């Protein structure tokens, strides 16, 4: 589910009782583009402060993920 804040919206937000998980997804057409897309996703999460909304949760987990179209799988990810 996309949840908007004043700076935009993350691709997927999962809310549990004490945890919020934010996933920002990017598509790379090949391996050489994947790291650049991962860096973009990380920066987007930081710039837009995804997941930092009310009600606050005890744990906020934010992850940037890149899907490689050539390999047809998620090849890069990082917790932010």
pLDDT digit string, tens, across residues 13-58 = 999 999 999 999 999 999 899 999 999 999 999 999 999 888 889 9
CA atoms of 21 and 60, how far apart (whole Å): 6
pLDDT band at 5 (very low <50, low <70, confident <90, very high): low
Work out how many domains the chain is built from and give that number: 1
Does residue 65 register a pLDDT over 80? yes
Token pair of 39, please?
A: 């860096």
CA atoms of 74 and 34, how far apart (whole Å): 10
CB–CB of 56/77 below 8 Å? no
CB–CB of 42/34 below 8 Å? no
User: Could you tell me which of 65, 67, 69 has the C-alpha nearest to residue 77?
Assistant: 65
Instruction: Give the per-residue pLDDT at 3.
Output: 55
- Where in the sequence is the domain holding 37, given as residue range(s)? 4-79
CA atoms of 70 and 27, how far apart (whole Å): 10
């Amino acid at each position: 589910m996309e949840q908007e804040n004043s700076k935009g919206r993350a691709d997927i937000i999962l809310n549990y009782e004490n945890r919020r998980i934010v996933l920002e997804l990017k598509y790379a057409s090949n391996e050489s583009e994947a790291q650049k897309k991962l860096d973009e996703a990380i920066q987007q999460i930081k710039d837009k402060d995804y997941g930092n909304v009310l009600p606050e949760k005890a744990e906020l987990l934010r992850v940037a993920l890149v899907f490689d179209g050539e390999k047809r799988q998620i090849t890069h990810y990082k917790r932010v």
